[in-house]
């Protein structure tokens, strides 16, 4: 059985292998030959047509023929081959980007013994956070188990996406709620680094998502947060303009070079440790322009090994922490700075440790305080009632024509006084009753419960009583104050 597959890539060098036949092709401004091959599956009588395209430049795409195995085996080979082509394509672009940044590995660098978990250079994800097991990375929302490796372990095949949080800031004010975005490398959910610079950094017509914000792009900053790192992007105006790159007039077979837009973008690096610009102004290449922005973020967050290669400035500082990356276009400069942060995690516990001895001591103190404050409160009410009664008798002593008013007010004051005395007696007896019931329960409790079982009726009544007592006093005193105010009027 023969299975013929067609891959269309933006850039890929010719690859040859004993098992695979690769032919390079692309249907864009080139003379080409299209061959239709019909394959008949004899057992099922099914006819399928596959396309072979020939005559295209060797750096733009390929046709792959896989032969000699069962359909499931060829399907698995197709998946692995697509991944390998993606890795080869990404490494070609990534090397160009790192060369433009003058990055290098330290002399004492040793290749880790563990298998690589990323298709990028020197990217180490490190162990999982303390107290957490290793979890599979986000795979773009694809629940298909075929995206996992055959061994069942987490490999570079599964690290083809990244989850980030992004937020727009205007000074110290957050313009919009933070967004969680997922980027699948070299897919519709991704953009190239050049497209991001053009559309999100140097596009002065870009509007803030907050309709109430009228500030320009130059007054905003965009931050990307992932794991323990933060990348902050700001756009600044420069005094002068960056000149357009000049190319020698040579014939080339690449259609992208006709677009002169890329020739206006330059890059340089400032070392915060050396406090100076340590790399010369260089224009970004086509490979850097086409480099995945998701991979650019992954490299910025996880490549903690690379150093700056600037011997003329005697700078070999760490690229991730000490360098500030600049991209320039015209009189604008986009500043990319990295800083490590300390993220805080939220853990939901099923239960919290409960110190019953502490809560019992605290409840006893609350009850004693309620006893003292309520006694003082009731005594003040009694004195106020006595004063109001004597003032009322003196006021109506000469009012012989309205004796019913005197009798009504005195009766109301007498009722309030009886209510105060009754409430004082009830509260004291209730405090004593709840405390004695809880102490008695502790003496008769089963072994293993030194202060009563949490959730039992005596314990609940004891621990909740201070709240009920305060609410009881608030309702009584509010009603008494209202009635006494009416008597005074």
Give dist(CA 202, CA 173) in Å, integer. Answer: 22
Helices (H), 101-223: 193-196
Among the ranges 104-113, 148-157, 316-325, 374-383, which has the highest mean pLDDT value? 316-325
Average pLDDT over residues 207-226: 87
Q: Strands, E, within 114-192: which ranges?
A: 161-170, 173-174, 179-184
pLDDT at 353 over 90: no
pLDDT of residue 135: 62
pLDDT of residue 50: 63
Give dist(CA 456, CA 486) in Å, integer. Answer: 45
Question: Are the CB atoms for 294 and 184 separated by under 8 Å?
Answer: yes
Tens-digit pLDDT profile for residues 385-394: 888 878 777 7
Report the 10 Å Cβ neighbour count for 36: 8
Q: What are phi and psi of 169, to 5 degrees?
A: -125, 145
pLDDT of residue 20: 29
**Count of helices and strands (H, E) across the chain:** 8, 17
pLDDT at 487 over 80: no
Average pLDDT over residues 156-182: 88
Predicted confidence band of residue 297 (pLDDT cuts 50, 70, 90): very high
* Cα separations in angstroms, 55 against 28, 58, 238, 310: 11, 9, 47, 43
pLDDT of residue 309: 92
Predicted confidence band of residue 410 (pLDDT cuts 50, 70, 90): confident
* Cα separations in angstroms, 438 against 456, 465, 467: 10, 12, 17
The mean pLDDT of the chain is 77
pLDDT higher for 267 or 398? 267
pTM of the model: 0.62
Give dist(CA 144, CA 152) in Å, integer. Answer: 14
Burial of 55: CB neighbours in 10 Å, binned 0-12, 13-18, 19+: middle
Residue with tokens 């986009």: 334
The DSSP-derived string for 93-127 is HHHHHHHHTTEE--TT----SSPP--SSTT----S
Among the ranges 206-210, 326-330, 426-430, which has the highest mean pLDDT value? 326-330
pLDDT at 215 over 50: yes
Tens-digit pLDDT profile for residues 443-482: 765 544 544 455 567 777 888 888 888 888 888 888 888 8
Q: In this structure, is the dihedral angle defined by the CA atoms of residues 393, 394, 400 and 401, taken in order, positive or negative?
A: negative
Residues above pLDDT 70, as percent of the chain: 73
pLDDT of residue 154: 78
Q: Residue 200 has what DSSP assignment? A: I
Residue 282's DSSP bridge partners are 267
């Amino acid at each position: 059985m023969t299975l013929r597959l067609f891959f269309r890539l933006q850039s890929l060098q010719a690859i040859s292998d004993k098992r695979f036949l690769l032919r390079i092709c692309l249907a864009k401004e080139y003379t080409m030959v299209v061959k239709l091959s019909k394959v008949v599956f004899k057992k099922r009588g099914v006819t399928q047509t596959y396309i072979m395209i020939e005559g295209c430049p060797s750096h733009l795409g390929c046709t792959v023929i896989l032969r000699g195995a069962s359909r499931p085996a060829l399907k698995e080979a197709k998946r692995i081959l697509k991944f390998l082509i993606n890795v080869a394509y990404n490494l070609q672009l990534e090397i160009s980007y790192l060369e433009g940044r003058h990055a290098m590995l330290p002399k004492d660098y040793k290749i880790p013994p563990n298998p690589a978990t990323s298709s990028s250079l020197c990217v180490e994800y490190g162990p999982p956070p303390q107290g957490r097991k290793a979890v599979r990375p986000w795979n773009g929302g694809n629940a298909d188990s075929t995206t996992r490796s055959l061994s069942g372990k987490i490999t570079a095949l599964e690290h083809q996406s990244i989850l980030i949080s992004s937020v727009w800031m205007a000074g110290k004010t957050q313009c919009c709620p933070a967004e969680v975005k997922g980027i699948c490398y070299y897919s519709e959910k991704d953009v190239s680094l050049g497209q991001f610079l053009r559309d999100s950094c140097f596009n002065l017509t870009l509007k803030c998502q907050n309709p109430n914000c009228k500030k320009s792009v130059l007054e905003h900053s965009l931050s990307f947060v992932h794991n323990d790192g933060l990348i902050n992007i700001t756009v600044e105006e420069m005094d002068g303009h960056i000149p357009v790159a000049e190319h020698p007039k040579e014939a080339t077979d690449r259609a992208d070079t006709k677009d002169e837009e890329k020739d206006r973008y330059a890059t340089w690096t400032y070392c915060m440790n050396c406090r100076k610009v340590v790399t010369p102004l260089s224009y970004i290449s086509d490979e850097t322009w086409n480099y995945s922005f998701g991979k650019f973020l992954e490299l910025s967050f996880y490549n903690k090994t690379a150093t700056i290669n600037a011997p003329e400035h005697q700078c070999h500082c760490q690229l991730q922490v000490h360098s500030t990356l600049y991209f320039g276009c015209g009189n604008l400069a986009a500043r990319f700075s990295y800083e490590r942060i300390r993220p805080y995690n939220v853990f939901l516990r099923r239960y919290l440790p409960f110190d019953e001895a502490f809560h019992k001591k605290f409840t006893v103190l609350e009850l004693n305080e309620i006893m003292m404050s309520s006694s003082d409160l009731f005594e003040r009410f009694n004195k106020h009632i006595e004063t109001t009664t004597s003032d009322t008798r003196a006021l109506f002593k000469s009012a012989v024509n309205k004796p019913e008013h005197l009798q009504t007010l005195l009766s109301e004051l007498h009722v309030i006084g009886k209510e105060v005395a009754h409430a004082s007696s009830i509260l004291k007896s209730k405090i004593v009753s709840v405390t004695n019931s809880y102490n008695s329960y502790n003496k008769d409790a089963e072994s293993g419960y030194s202060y009563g079982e949490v959730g039992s009726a005596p314990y609940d009544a004891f621990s909740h009583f201070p709240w009920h007592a305060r609410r009881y006093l608030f309702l009584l005193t509010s009603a008494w104050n209202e009635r006494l105010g009416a008597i005074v009027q």
